[in-house]
Amino acid sequence: MTQQTPASHPGVFDVELVLRQARAYLAFGEQVRLFTDRLGETAQADWGQALQQHFTQLKTAIAQSAENPAINPELARLWLLMADTWSETATALGMDTETIPDTLRQTEAWRAYQHTQSDYFSQLQDTATEALDLMEQRLNELVAAGKTVSSLRELYNLWVDCNEQTYGRMLRSTAYSELNGRLFNALLRCYSRPEAQS
Amino acid sequence: MISLTADQIAAEIEAFSHRLQQGARTLASVGEIETGVSPRELIYQEDKLTLYRYQPQVEKLHSIPLLIVYALVNRPYMMDLQEDRSMIRGLLDAGLDVYLIDWGYPDAGDRTLTLVDYVQRYIGHCVDVVRDRHGVDALNLLGVCQGGALSLCYTALYPERIRNLITMVTPVDFHTPDNVLTHLLRHVNVDLLVDTLGNVPGALLNFAFLSLSPFRLAGQKYVDLVDIFDDAQALKNFLRMEKWIFDSPDQAGEAFRQFAKDFFQQNKLVKGEVMIGDRRVNLHEVVMPVLNVYAAQDHLVPPAASRALAKCCGSRDYSELSFRGGHIGIYVSSRAQREVPPAIAAWLLAR
């Protein structure tokens, strides 16, 4: 049985919440800087093609960091925001993958949870990839409309919009509702007594 | 067109980093953020529950007291967040005598509390205390969000004790197509959840709310915060709201079990199938005047979920007030302060 959890009694604001997202934003900025650097070397006539080519490189950099966060942990954090949020929640419930006992690690319930969590993260990653595709499409539409993006923050906000749009679509799908239920249930089964698992 | 050079981006990054460094120091020194500003006195306590009466602001008070029943999730100081963002202040200024139930923070000892405890015992005792203090048979009840659903249950069971009922951003039909909380909970094994954890931790509820819009609520919001680091007032407003968002009491296990299964998963309230102990909640028994206040852009309790009350309550004096805003804005936005408390007070004073 859980006691009143510490997270339920917030005291002083956790500055780390801001610092983590700020570092992720700066990592995003660094990738965009590389992207615009290459784009700046492109002749104006080839701009559309260059956008596609360099944006593909930007997507690859972000995707690689997601698959292996060690490559660029801050950039990965931007991409894996929702996965991080879930991991922190699981940790708050005592499911810290670093500290769980070996006896639990060897159970079928733990393996099932790992499998479901992997499905969940994979779903998030697919959605984030869709968001980058959408962002590329939006940028092309801006170009076609003769509009300009003139700051890093505008690009970041566009990235957020695109992620919210693709994520929101996923969130409202029947498949996600089922996956969300499976994720919770799998986590709980790692802790539950046999009679509670019906 | 992206009219950005690498140098421009480098300059923007540098400026952001500079503001961040300065702001992080400011944030670390802000300390505890105060919430709840209107003077109040403790009237009654039972277990974790506290009943408060707010200090009246006018000489000639409305003769029928108003009891506010807040949700079990999150804390009720959202109704009285700060001087210029206080729904309670607005109600007091309009001449109402305002009471509020603060549910407190359930702990392991509260695991077995059920909806019978919350509806019949806790709300029931508070209603009786207030009725006795004022010598009235019936009082005015204002239920907020989940507290509105609990208020509907109480009112349906004891209609003679409620003179007028106000529901605010209250879910009634939990199965409207746009109800994303129901969507998320639909396949969760609630019995497994409660049997395993006992009380349901606030951290889980926080996750559910953040997961509705993570890139804004857990990402962009904090990047944007850097823009207001040098505005002390804006920063404190932000921190006050942030404190409220993460101030999520754990939920008493058995009460959560029934609410999640009967209300969210099986939509029994609108079907007239909710049982509080051995008594059925029939919303047709809600026959007194009803004001249903909802937020037109509410993403947590969609308007259709609230407006379903029109068809299933028994009142012949049913009105709706649509607020142009969201689930949070209806408490704290400037427009809410101007529009909502005066409208509630005017509606009550006319009855």
Q: How many CB atoms lie within 10 A of CB A67?
A: 11
Residue A86 has a pLDDT of 83
B225/A18 CB distance under 8 A? yes
Average pLDDT over residues B298-325: 96
- pLDDT reading at A6 higher than 80: no
Question: pLDDT over 90 for what percent of chain B?
Answer: 76
Q: What is the dihedral of CA B143, B146, B152, B158, to 10 degrees?
A: -80
When pLDDT is cut at 50, 70 and 90, the band that residue A47 belongs to is low
Residue A4 has a pLDDT of 45
- pLDDT reading at A1 higher than 50: no
- For residues B250 and B260, give the distance between their C-alpha atoms in angstroms, rounded to a whole number: 14
pLDDT 10s digits, B206-242: 888 888 999 999 889 999 998 988 888 888 889 999 8
A3/B183 CB distance under 8 A? no
- Which among B13, B197, B222 is the nearest to A29, CB-wise? B13
Residue B1 has a pLDDT of 61
Closest approach of B348 to chain A, Cα-based (Å): 35
When pLDDT is cut at 50, 70 and 90, the band that residue B99 belongs to is very high
H helices present in chain B, as ranges: 6-30, 87-93, 115, 124-134, 146-157, 180-185, 190-197, 202-210, 214-215, 221-225, 232-246, 253-258, 268-271, 303-307, 309-312, 329-332, 334-349
- Which among A2, A160, A164 is the nearest to B201, CB-wise? A2
- pLDDT reading at B10 higher than 50: yes
pLDDT 10s digits, A150-194: 889 998 999 999 999 999 999 999 999 999 999 999 999 987 755
Residue A11 has a pLDDT of 57
pLDDT 10s digits, B15-50: 998 888 888 778 777 767 888 889 999 999 999 999
In a mutational test of the A interface, the residue from B190, B199, B215 whose CB has the highest number of chain A CBs within 10 Å is B215
Average pLDDT over residues A65-70: 71
CB contacts < 8 A (A, B) = 218
pTM value is 0.91
Whole-angstrom CA distances from B229 to B33, B129, B194, B215, B232 are: 16, 46, 41, 21, 7
A24/B216 CB distance under 8 A? no
Residues paired with residue B235 on neighbouring β-strands, in sequence order? none
Residue B123 has a pLDDT of 98
- The class that CATH gives domain B40-349 is alpha beta
Domain ranges of chain B: 40-349
A32/B223 CB distance under 8 A? no
CA nearest to B4 within chain A: A150
Residues of B in contact with A163 (CB under 8 A): 215
Q: Is B126 one of the annotated active-site residues of the chain?
A: no
